[in-house]
Amino acid sequence: MLNLCLIKASAPSTFKDYKKKRGGPPQSIFSAAAATPDTVALQMFDETVQDVDPAGIDADLVVLFFSTPDAVRGYEMADHFRKRGIQVVIGGLHATFLKEEAKGHADAVLTGECEAVWPQLLQDAERGQLQPFYHGEAVDMATLNPYPTHLIKPKTYDWVWSVLVSRGCKHNCSFCLVPGMLGKTRYRPVEHIVEEISNMETDWVELHADHLTEDRDYALRLFKALEPLKINWVGETTIRIADDPELLEAAAKSGCRYLLVGIETVSKEALKRSGKGFVKLDKLKDQIKFLHDHGIAVDSAAILGFDEHDTSIFKESAELFHDFGVDISVPAIMIPFPGSRQFAQLEAEGRILTRDWSQYDGAHAVYQPKLMSPQELEAGADEFYWEFNSAGRYLARKARQVAQFGPSMALNL
């Protein structure tokens, strides 16, 4: 029997802290686990929420998944396992776009989606004959199994579980890797999602989709099907949900309590150039109030360092994010992920300053900004944090949140 270990690598950073507080089970290792047959002995670890000691892991095959900020940590673990004679496969977003780099630390690299090639990969590993590369094409979403709940318990994620709704996105934002890896949006059957949620140990769930309401008819069907379950859910969509009263009402009735909406920046020019021109700054305050009126908290990171930004953007962003009514926001220096149009442009302009992937964590300037120095950009991210979370603004937000959402939810935001 093959002894398999799945690991989501995660390096210490403010980025990891944010993921730990806001995230549920990651799609990477849980999708692979769901596709693994019972004939394989399986163990699984998520470094985002667990301490993982590679020296204590014994396996025939270790499959590591990670994104760019965690690549250095992932490679260190991969090198450790290979020195011990353990077969190593690397997959995930970073490896999909830098497969030759990843291959230098692994016996094989898995690009794209895992399910279509997973049986062959496991068979090859059992024979000790891994191929150099495996590429998984887009999978039929109706064939996916539910995430297993016995390998990492829901309580590890503070009782917020994750259920996959869709993969891919029809938009092509300059900074995003999702369409390049997963293609255009595909959805699971609504009845599969309802059945999986009905069997959960918790009544809090992340509806995992990169754009939950992209297909309005599907979203309405899903929300109406979820309403009888009396759950609370979090999800990711665009602020345009606030412009659709029927859709928003259905989301609220089905248990929507928290949305990541991706405002990104208060620069109209930066929004337009990055493919987010549908975010209208003059409408945001009313749109967010409409979400609040339906009992929905709003999360949006402030992306800093667009070419249109100068040093005035930090204080301005903090003031406007607070005035708009954003409930949760952290500063994130723009990350030019390898494989994105953004990275390609900056590289062509000679503005990429480092390929130390551990610096691609949203806290470091890894490229030369156009209208300020890298040091000013990093200091500005700190300025945003302290301005947005000044005592006066923090207390004002909490008072509003208690009135809108109740004390329990307000204290957890």
Of 28, 38, 31, the residue nearest 2 (C-alpha): 38
| Cα first-last separation, the chain | 45
Q: How confident is the model at residue 322 (pLDDT cuts 50, 70, 90)?
A: very high
- Contact criterion met (CB below 8 Å) for 364 and 68: no
Distances (CA, A) of 148 to 136, 163, 167, 226, 361: 21, 11, 19, 21, 29
- In whole angstroms, give the CA distance from residue 231 to residue 197: 9
- Contact criterion met (CB below 8 Å) for 26 and 93: no
3-141 CATH choice from 3.40.50.2000, 3.20.20.80, 1.20.1260.10, 3.40.50.280: 3.40.50.280
The pLDDT value given to residue 21: 67
Q: Give the model confidence (pLDDT) of 338-394 as tens digits.
A: 999 999 999 999 999 999 999 999 999 999 999 999 999 999 999 999 999 999 999
The two structure tokens encoding residue 362:
């949203």
Of 274, 247, 394, 392, the residue nearest 334 (C-alpha): 274
206 SS3 class: strand
Residue 331 parent element (H or E):
strand 331-333
Q: Is the pLDDT of residue 23 over 90?
A: no
The pLDDT value given to residue 240: 95
The arithmetic mean of pLDDT across residues 68-76, rounded, is 97
Q: Give the model confidence (pLDDT) of 176-230 as tens digits.
A: 888 788 888 999 999 999 999 999 999 999 999 988 999 999 999 999 999 999 9
The two structure tokens encoding residue 229:
């379950």
Distances (CA, A) of 366 to 43, 220, 312, 357: 35, 41, 20, 9
Q: Give the model confidence (pLDDT) of 226-257 as tens digits.
A: 999 999 999 999 999 999 999 999 999 999 99
240 SS3 class: helix
What pTM was estimated for this model as a whole?
Answer: 0.94
Burial class from Cβ neighbours inside 10 Å (0-12, 13-18, 19+) for residue 234 reads buried
Indicate if 151-412 has the same CATH topology as 3-141. no
- Contact criterion met (CB below 8 Å) for 304 and 372: no
Neighbours of 386 (CB within 10 A): 11
The pLDDT value given to residue 160: 92
Q: Where are the domains of the chain?
A: 3-141, 151-412
- Contact criterion met (CB below 8 Å) for 350 and 320: no
Total residue length of the chain? 413
- In whole angstroms, give the CA distance from residue 84 to residue 67: 24
Find the Cα–Cα–Cα–Cα dihedral 217, 219, 225, 226, rounded to 10°.
Answer: -170
Alpha helices in 254-413 (DSSP H): 268-273, 284-293, 313-324, 341-348, 374-388, 391-405, 407-412
Positive or negative, the CA dihedral 153, 157, 158, 159 is negative
Q: How confident is the model at residue 173 (pLDDT cuts 50, 70, 90)?
A: confident
Alpha helices in 276-373 (DSSP H): 284-293, 313-324, 341-348
Distances (CA, A) of 283 to 278, 279, 287, 330: 11, 8, 6, 21
Looking at the domain that runs over 151-412, which CATH code has it been given?
Answer: 3.80.30.20
Distances (CA, A) of 252 to 96, 104, 312: 36, 48, 37
- In whole angstroms, give the CA distance from residue 263 to residue 281: 9
Q: Is the pLDDT of residue 17 over 90?
A: no
The pLDDT value given to residue 178: 85
